[in-house]
Structure 1
Amino acid sequence: MVKIRLSRKGIRKKPFYQIIVTNSRNSRDGRFIEKLGYFDPLNLNKKLQFNKNRMDFWISKGAILSNRVYSLVK
């Protein structure tokens, strides 16, 4: 099953998340198919940025949004 979820990057106590498309069996920070955007909880100006067209493409192919990604993009 293909999922759209967050992958944690950054250093300790300064998280930075990438919105990725991956197989649900892969680990959180493991292999991914495509990077769709990012989420920066510490930066107030550019907090969330993602490619809406590619996200719609993957959803049409059957990808499922994680709960956190769904709450961010709704």
Structure 2
Amino acid sequence: MAVALRLNRQGTKDRPYYKIVAVDSRKRRDGRYIEQIGTYDPLKEGANYDLDLEKADKWLAVGAQASETVASIIRKSRTAASK
């Protein structure tokens, strides 16, 4: 089973809100996921994400592939944690 770290869309029309999830890569975008590792709110100013880096690192260590957006959020979270 190939695991992907990607966004799961929530919210309403014109008010998107995303969960950052670990999911089987063959599942639908908003289908059942294995584990939620964070959230992302693109409409919020400033730090618009909340991510559990330990869970993300665990999934990446076992071979999960992060989408471009999730990889960007992980990078931002790591730089914020190191400051």
TM-score (norm 2): 0.84
In structure 2, the gaps of 5 or more residues are 76-83
CA shift for structure 1 position 67: 1.1
Question: Per residue, is there more helix in 1 or in 2?
Answer: 2
Question: Per residue, is there more strand in 1 or in 2?
Answer: 1
- CA change 1:45–1:68 in 2 (3 A) is closer
- Native 8 Å contact 2:53 2:74 kept in 1: no
Q: How does 1:8-23 map to 2 (within 5 A)?
A: 8-23=9-24
Bigger radius of gyration, 1 or 2? 2
Q: How does 1:42-53 map to 2 (within 5 A)?
A: 42-53=43-54
Q: Which residue of 2 is the match for residue 59 of structure 1?
A: 60
In structure 1, the gaps of 5 or more residues are none
CA shift for structure 1 position 25: 0.3
State the number of aligned residues: 74
TM-score (norm 1): 0.94
Aligned-residue sequence identity (percent) comes to 36
Task: Give the RMSD, CA atoms, in angstroms.
Answer: 1.0
Structure 1 runs (4+) greater than 6 angstroms displaced: none
Whole-angstrom CA distance in 2 between matches of 1:39 and 1:23? 20
Q: Which residue of 2 is the match for residue 3 of structure 1?
A: 4
C-alpha distance after superposition, 1:2-42 (max 9, x if no partner):
00000100000000000000000000000100000000011
- Native 8 Å contact 1:21 1:34 kept in 2: yes
- Native 8 Å contact 1:19 1:38 kept in 2: yes
